[in-house]
Amino acid sequence: MTVRDIFIEYGQSYLDTFGDRVPSHHRKVMRAIIHCRTPDLGSIVCQCEGCGKRYEIFRSCGNRHCPTCQGDKAHKWLQDRLDQLLPGNHFLITFTVP
């Protein structure tokens, strides 16, 4: 089950229950994720130069919260952070000095 599936199945019920408290930008993100890579956002038609086969690619929403659009970037960012970890066990202590 994807985030999109959850929004499709439970989004309207959620909005019916908490609609007056849900910020408009959250609603916008929900709509973007629901319509991402569907005919609702249009498509691009491509053709293979070798065999001539044509295929249609649905456009993505490009929203920074969309796991379909930004999932690869999020995984790359996480891997970059993991690569920066020191070898071995360590912990962080934060304190304030007057």
* Segment 19-28, tens digit of pLDDT: 899 999 999 9
Cα–Cα separations (whole angstroms), residue 75 to 22, 66, 81, 86, 88: 28, 13, 10, 19, 22
* Integer Cα distance of 19 and 47 in angstroms: 44
Element at 59 (helix H, strand E): none
- pLDDT tens across 31-46, in order? 999 999 999 999 999 9
Is the whole-model pTM more than 0.85? no
